């Protein structure tokens, strides 16, 4: 599948208090990038919801990423192969 036709991955970030937001940066000018940084606290749960949503829960918030189990497994498999290749002499 070519890059322009791949489904887009969406996400949501929920922090339970403003105290856990480290930085939100929306630069002036025509730069399209922005940064949201915070802390989820200690990991409390990691779950694939109905094989279509990765949910990472921490003590102070959660992040949800719209990715299928298959897409996640493929990405992890590619990373594992890349690490193995880097380790060869």
Residues 23 and 79: their CA atoms lie apart, in Å, by: 29
Residues 30 and 80: their CA atoms lie apart, in Å, by: 37
Structure tokens at 86: 């880097």
In this predicted model, what pLDDT tens digit does every residue of 28-81 receive, in sequence order? Answer: 777 778 888 999 999 999 999 999 999 999 999 999 999 999 999 999 898 878
Quick check: 56 and 62 in contact, CB under 8 A?
yes
Q: If you search the block for the tokens 């594992």, which residue do you land on?
A: 80
State residue 67 phi and psi, 5-degree precision. -145, 140
Domain count, the chain: 1
pTM of the model: 0.73
Q: Which structural domain range is residue 35 located in?
A: 3-87
């Amino acid at each position: 599948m070519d890059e322009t036709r791949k489904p887009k991955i969406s996400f949501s970030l929920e922090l339970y208090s403003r105290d856990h937001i480290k930085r939100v940066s929306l630069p002036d000018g025509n730069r399209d990038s922005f940064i949201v940084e915070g802390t989820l606290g200690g990991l409390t749960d990691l779950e694939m919801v109905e094989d279509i949503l990765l949910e990472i829960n921490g003590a102070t918030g959660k992040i949800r990423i719209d990715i299928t189990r298959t897409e996640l497994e493929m990405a992890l498999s590619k990373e594992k192969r890349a690490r193995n290749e880097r380790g060869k002499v």
